[in-house]
Amino acid sequence: MLKLTGLTKRFATDEVETTALNGIDLEINDGEFVAVMGPSGCGKSTLLNVVGMLDTPDGGSYQFGSEEIANYNENQRAELRKQNLGFIFQSFNLIDELTVHENVDLALLYQGVPAKERKQRVTEVLERMNIAHRAKHFPQQLSGGQQQRVAIARALVGKPKLVLADEPTGNLDSKHGQEVMGMITDLNKNGTTVLMVTHSEEHAQYAHRVVHMLDGQVISQSADAVKEAV
pTM for this model (two decimals): 0.86
List pLDDT tens digits, range 197-224. Answer: 998 899 999 999 999 999 999 999 987 5
The residues facing 164 across adjacent strands are 87, 195
**What is the bridge-based pairing of β-strands 209-214 and 17-28?**
unpaired
User: Measured between alpha carbons, how far apart are the two ends of the chain, in Å?
Assistant: 29
Task: Give mean pLDDT, residues 108-125.
Answer: 91
- Res. 226 pLDDT band, cuts 50 70 90: low
| Strands, sheet with 193-197, edge to edge from the N-terminal-most edge strand | 85-89, 162-166, 193-197, 33-37, 209-214, 217-222
pLDDT at 16: 85
Residue 225 in this model has a pLDDT that exceeds 80: no
Q: Whole-angstrom Cα distance, residue 87 to residue 81?
A: 10
List pLDDT tens digits, range 62-107. Answer: 999 988 999 899 999 988 998 899 998 878 889 999 999 999 999 8
